[in-house]
Amino acid sequence: MASPDKVAAVAEIKEKFENSSAALVTAYTGLTVAQLKELRRSLGENAQYRVAKNTLTKIAANEAGVTGLDEFFTGSTAVAFVTGDPVEAAKGLRDFSKDNPALVIKGGVLDGKSLTADEIVKLADLESREVLLAKLAGGMKASMAKAAATFQAPLSQFARTADALREKVEQQGGGAAAE
């Protein structure tokens, strides 16, 4: 029979899985408490980094309906539960692991899809959601301006042609009146 502490821990981890858009699994052996504190800060405000027991985390993930993570729950394991932009957390893990090779990204899950360590690094290479939205808006604005210029071009060309024709008629009409 499971102890009440373990049942409570599983329920807490299960809730984190259910409320997260992504969960990134790492190995942290060899990191000091100060380094773990620095890592938690580097993940941003929308991620919680939690050291967890493999068995309890595996049970919680399965109860939450999260699949594809069981292979990562070996050795020292910690999970970054991301509630906001997963790119920011992935960048934090990638950058921290460059400076601290003791941190190993094992894999994770994003919106129900299992991710390998390489896919998490690729995710970290993406620009943030806000930057991508700004680029999209800029591209749409440029397209709209280009379309407006295209629609306006025939009108301005017609106006220039009409003005040139008027000037030509005036010159011919002015020359005929003088004779």
The CATH number of residue 66's host domain is: 3.30.70.1730
Domain span at residue 137 reads 128-179
Q: What is the pLDDT of residues 68-99, one digit of tens each?
A: 888 888 888 899 999 888 888 888 888 898 98
Residues 65 and 50 in one domain: yes
Q: For the chain, what is the domain count?
A: 2
Q: What integer best gives the mean pLDDT of the chain?
A: 83
Q: What is the pLDDT of residues 25-34, one digit of tens each?
A: 999 888 889 9
Q: Are 96 and 39 in contact (CB under 8 A)?
A: yes
One domain, residues 37 and 97: yes
For residues 159-179, give the mean pLDDT. Answer: 74
**Which pLDDT score, from 0 to 100, does residue 178 have?**
46
Q: Are residues 119 and 132 in the same domain?
A: no
132, 119: one domain: no
**Are 110 and 143 in a shared domain?**
no
Cα torsion 16, 53, 97, 109 to 10°: value is: -40
Last residue of some domain: 106, 126, 146?
Answer: 126
Whether the per-residue pLDDT at 105 is higher than 70: the answer is: yes
Query: What is the spatial distance between Cα 106 and Cα 29, in angstroms, rounded to a whole number?
Result: 13
Of 81, 107, 126, the domain-final residue: 126
Measured distance CA(73)–CA(13) in Å, rounded:
14
